Structure 1
Amino acid sequence: MKREQPIGVFDSGLGGVSVLRELVSLLPAEDFIYFGDAAHAPYGERSEREIRALTTAQVDRMAAAGVKAVVLACNTATSAACAPLRRRYRGMPIIGMEPALKPAILSGNRPRVVVMATHATLRQKKFARLMERFKEAGEIVKLPCPEIVEFVERGEIHSDALMRYLEERFSSVSNVPVDCVVLGCTHFPFVRDAIQAVAGQSVQIFDGAAGTARELERRLQELDALREEGRRGTIAWLSSSDDPHYIERAKMLYAL
């Protein structure tokens, strides 16, 4: 492993751009390759076997391209594929995502926490274990919101249709006051303001991107593989989409 090798960032589409922003903010000297597998999105409605196969195929391509680490900037892909990929690439850090349930639960005295995510993330054993770990510390409510992924993929992050959708979803859990919302999908931070407006300004919102960036930094430090400061890294944008405007949308979201 060489310090000058790039870092791969993978997502099923545009959601991982929210994680990429945190990675670049923390590690500005690093070069990144971002790949969004938009041709096979959304992952959230696929089976675990399909998600694992698609994720593995793209990580294999990144490894062949010479990356020094891969960030699975997708909660769904992490749940389905992170463990087998770590066994497959023992010498290369594979950094996954996890819903930020722990900081949300620890933010108050037995808070009521709503976890927004795709169906696939919420039904995975990984999330079930996370819920079991913290079930005595507060009330955890699962709220599947798969259509948010499609809103973000279209670049539709401020529309009336999005607000109506969020209001409809929150109506099923708002009979009792909500203390915290966990954004369990990397697409969701792009509509954070809309979620805050619907959930209420007093509700705390958590996502796992910053923690993922810190974990990548820690692993690269352990391997003495961080690039020296004093340079500005680059981002290579790649996608499986045949939409000529897809990369433009990715860059637009990155610049928000």
Structure 2
Amino acid sequence: MDQRPVLFFDSGVGGLSVLGAARARLPQMPVVYVADSAGFPYGTKTEREIAARVPALLGRLAERYQPRLIVIACNTASTIALATVREALDLPVVGTVPAIKPAALLSQTRVIGVLGTDATVRQPYVDDLAARFAGDCTVLRHGSAELVALAEAKLHGAPTDPARYAAILDGLFGQKGGARIDTIVNACTHFPLVVDELAAAAPHPVRFVDGSAGIARRIAHLTEGQSWPDSPGEGRAVFTARDAGIDRLAPALAGFGLTRLDAL
């Protein structure tokens, strides 16, 4: 049986939302999950920093873990570095992009919110997605580094303040036309981890969409016909920098099948 893993990569724990969808579809999939904790967070970094860091790091990871496929489970890294990584590596690389197309298909009011990191929401890539798939919609954007921190805190087992979610959402709903938003794109893989908190804090019922199901389908398509081990074995979580806080993540990581914790 082919023991090569699928490697999931993010700046932190946000990519677990993508891993969860992929594991549900491919339960026998061996996994290496890499969190670039030494570079976290990506959303406040410059495009130049991310464009230099991500391809070099993924090159090292590909050499070390010999994956059959890499998933960049990070919107910020994907919108900036995906093309470069694909050119550099001789294996399939799946990226994560804001789910604007499915949001446009769902929206009744034709007003969509895009909630991401500062680095993601300002990318021309998002302009292109909005023009191609939501040309008849008003697309409002808001970047929040704090929401990334709240998602990380939740997985570390720390309490989070509901008022903070409401304040972050006001960055969308408080814009001109924002009161008509009926669909919000979670354009950071961290954000689905706190979708219940976001839904509770929204001023009226809205739908939240993300790209995790589509990524799971893409992984299944690219690995169709390949063999899998009878059991996925011990999933591995790898951190590029290790501190005491990582040990507090162990229960949450185990819930995603990641029972071995390593430092790069």
Structure 1 distance, partners of 2:204, 2:49, is 38
SS at match of 2:135: coil
**1:62 match:** 61
Matched, 1:194 2:197: yes
How many pairs are equivalent?
250
Question: What letter is aligned with 2:238?
Answer: L
Structure 2 distance, partners of 1:232, 1:50, is 35
**2:223 match:** 220
Deviations, residues 115-150 of structure 1 (Å, cap 9, x unaligned): 100011111121121112134232211011211111
Structure 2 distance, partners of 1:157, 1:120, is 27
Map residues 86-235 of structure 1 onto 2, 5 A cutoff. 86-89=86-89, 91-155=90-154, 159-161=159-161, 163-174=162-173, 176-200=179-203, 202-221=205-224, 224-227=225-228, 230-235=230-235
Deviations, residues 188-233 of structure 1 (Å, cap 9, x unaligned): 1111011101125631110111111111111112xx43426x4344
User: Does the Cα contact within 8 Å between 2:14 and 2:188 map onto a contact in 1?
Assistant: yes
**1:241 match:** 241
User: Does the Cα contact within 8 Å between 1:158 and 1:191 map onto a contact in 2?
Assistant: no
SS at match of 1:185: coil
Runs of 5+ consecutive residues of structure 1 not aligned to the other structure? none
TM-score (norm 1): 0.89
Between the two proteins, what is the percent identity of the paired residues?
A: 31
> RMSD in angstroms over aligned alpha carbons?
2.2
Runs of 5+ consecutive residues of structure 2 not aligned to the other structure? 257-264
Structure 1 distance, partners of 2:124, 2:107, is 26
Question: What letter is aligned with 1:227?
Answer: W
User: Does the Cα contact within 8 Å between 2:186 and 2:209 map onto a contact in 1?
Assistant: yes
Structure 2 distance, partners of 1:194, 1:254, is 22
SS at match of 1:39: coil
User: Does the Cα contact within 8 Å between 1:15 and 1:73 map onto a contact in 2?
Assistant: yes
Deviations, residues 78-123 of structure 1 (Å, cap 9, x unaligned): 011111111112x311000011111111113452111100011111
C-alpha deviation, 1:3, in angstroms: 3.1
Structure 2 distance, partners of 1:172, 1:98, is 21
**1:51 match:** 50
TM-score (norm 2): 0.86
